[in-house]
């Protein structure tokens, strides 16, 4: 029986096939080269959410090339990239969605020139949407957050799991991919601590969680997870589907969007909204911005300072004193 290939071995196989494609007369097949690039990203350890975003952005670019029509990446010129850039900017999309589409294409051609498949990068010089000029995005009020947190049906296993997920995201401000990567032993319920080991940029950190988050996570671990893990008892991921597989970004996103609609919230609520809302609420309640920086795992303070754009704040206190969901949970009317 053949031993399954590792991610790196699979990536290498795609690299070989892509180079063969590049060496044949007719140039580089779009689908094969992009597949090789995605394998390359996965082998390099890119976060699942980043892989999903780039895959979607490249899918849109591939669709655009077919309309041109182009099947060989060597035929892509600066003019074609400029036209694609203009078409993306003209779309009625959120600023971040446009940025992802453009960034995915820029990174693809950087990869092709760095691996010597192309001599000239047609995307070089294309201006990405600067993060510092992007709007902060959706932030929920405390009342909206309470409405959202109250939506899961706590008489069901999925409802308890989803409440635990949302409470944890809002309380700690961890990224969605960090939450999905958590193992059971990364949670210390007694000390109300979360060990974020698979963090962005490899910057591991320890973050506190509220009493409300700890309570719901404990209920999930004690009552629900053992049931979900029956088919896969060796699975160590904290949050599982009812079939025992690790919970995915798309699965929980769909669940949360349903809760948003049921709560009557008109704003778009993605998983990152919990992180953004956590930081903003803490700053509005007087948290020291450097504490929020450490909580969120930001390398640069400037990244954290974007949350102060919501309104001026007087930075004074720490997590347990400032987070609106401390203690027994949110109260209506905020």
**Residue 48 reports pLDDT greater than 90:** no
Q: Which of 175, 228, 281, 326 is catalytic?
A: 175
For residue 228, what is the enclosing H or E element? helix 225-228
Q: Note the pLDDT tens digit of each residue in 309-323.
A: 654 433 334 556 667
User: What domains are there in the chain, each with its CATH number?
Assistant: 7-133 (1.10.150.130), 142-322 (1.10.443.10)
Q: Which of 10, 17, 200, 218 is catalytic?
A: 200
More confident residue, 312 or 196: 196
**Residue 18 reports pLDDT greater than 60:** no
CA-to-CA dists, residue 154 to 101, 162, 163, 168, angstroms: 38, 9, 8, 16
- Does the predicted TM-score (pTM) go above 0.75? no
Cα separation, 260 vs 239, in Å, equals 21
Cα separation, 99 vs 276, in Å, equals 18
Q: Which of 195, 272, 291, 294 is catalytic?
A: 272
Q: For tokens 């995005």, name the residue.
A: 137
Residue 315 in tokens: 């930075």
Q: Which of 163, 298, 319, 323 is catalytic?
A: 298
Q: Which of 163, 275, 323, 326 is catalytic?
A: 275
Q: Which of 170, 276, 307, 326 is catalytic?
A: 307
Whether 175 is a known active-site residue: answer yes
Whether 307 is a known active-site residue: answer yes
Query: Could you tell me what percent of the chain has a pLDDT over 90?
Result: 37
Locate all alpha helices (DSSP H) within the chain, ordered by sequence. Answer: 7-23, 30-43, 48-67, 78-89, 95-114, 142-149, 157-172, 176-180, 211-219, 225-228, 249-263, 272-284, 289-296, 301-305, 319-322
Whether 298 is a known active-site residue: answer yes
CA-to-CA dists, residue 333 to 3, 90, 144, 264, 292, angstroms: 59, 40, 9, 16, 25
**Residue 327 reports pLDDT greater than 90:** no
Whether 275 is a known active-site residue: answer yes
Q: How confident is the model at residue 21 (pLDDT cuts 50, 70, 90)?
A: very low
Q: Note the pLDDT tens digit of each residue in 145-191.
A: 999 999 999 999 999 999 999 999 999 999 888 999 999 999 999 99
């Amino acid at each position: 029986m053949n031993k399954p290939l590792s991610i790196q071995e699979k990536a290498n196989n795609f690299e070989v096939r892509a180079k063969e494609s590049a060496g044949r007369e007719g140039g580089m097949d779009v689908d094969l080269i992009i597949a090789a690039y995605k394998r390359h990203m996965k082998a390099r350890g890119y976060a699942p959410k980043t892989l999903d975003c780039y895959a979607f952005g490249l899918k849109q670019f591939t669709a655009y090339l077919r309309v041109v029509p182009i099947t060989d990446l060597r035929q892509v010129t600066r003019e074609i990239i400029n036209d694609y850039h203009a078409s993306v900017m003209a779309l009625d999309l959120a600023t971040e969605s446009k940025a992802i589409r453009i960034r995915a294409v820029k990174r693809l051609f950087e990869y092709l020139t760095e691996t010597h498949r192309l001599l000239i990068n047609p995307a070089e010089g294309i201006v990405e949407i600067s993060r510092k000029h992007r709007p902060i995005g959706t932030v929920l009020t405390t009342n909206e957050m309470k409405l959202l947190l109250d939506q899961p049906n706590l008489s069901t296993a999925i409802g308890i799991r989803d409440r635990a997920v949302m409470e944890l995201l809002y309380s700690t401000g961890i990224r969605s991919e960090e939450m999905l990567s958590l193992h059971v032993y990364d949670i210390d319920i007694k000390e109300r601590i979360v060990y974020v080991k698979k963090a962005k940029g490899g910057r591991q950190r320890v973050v506190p969680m509220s009493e409300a988050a700890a309570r719901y996570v404990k209920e999930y671990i004690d009552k629900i997870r053992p049931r979900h893990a029956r088919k896969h008892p060796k699975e160590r991921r904290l949050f599982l589907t009812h079939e025992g597989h690790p919970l995915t970004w798309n699965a929980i996103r769909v669940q949360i969007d349903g809760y948003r609609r049921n709560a009557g919230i008109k704003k778009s609520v993605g998983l990152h909204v919990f992180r953004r809302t956590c930081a903003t609420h803490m700053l509005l309640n007087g948290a020291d911005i450097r504490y929020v920086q450490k909580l969120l795992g930001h390398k640069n303070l400037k990244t954290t300072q974007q949350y102060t754009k919501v309104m001026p704040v007087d930075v004074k206190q720490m997590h347990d004193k400032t987070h609106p969901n401390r203690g027994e949970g949110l109260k209506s009317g905020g």
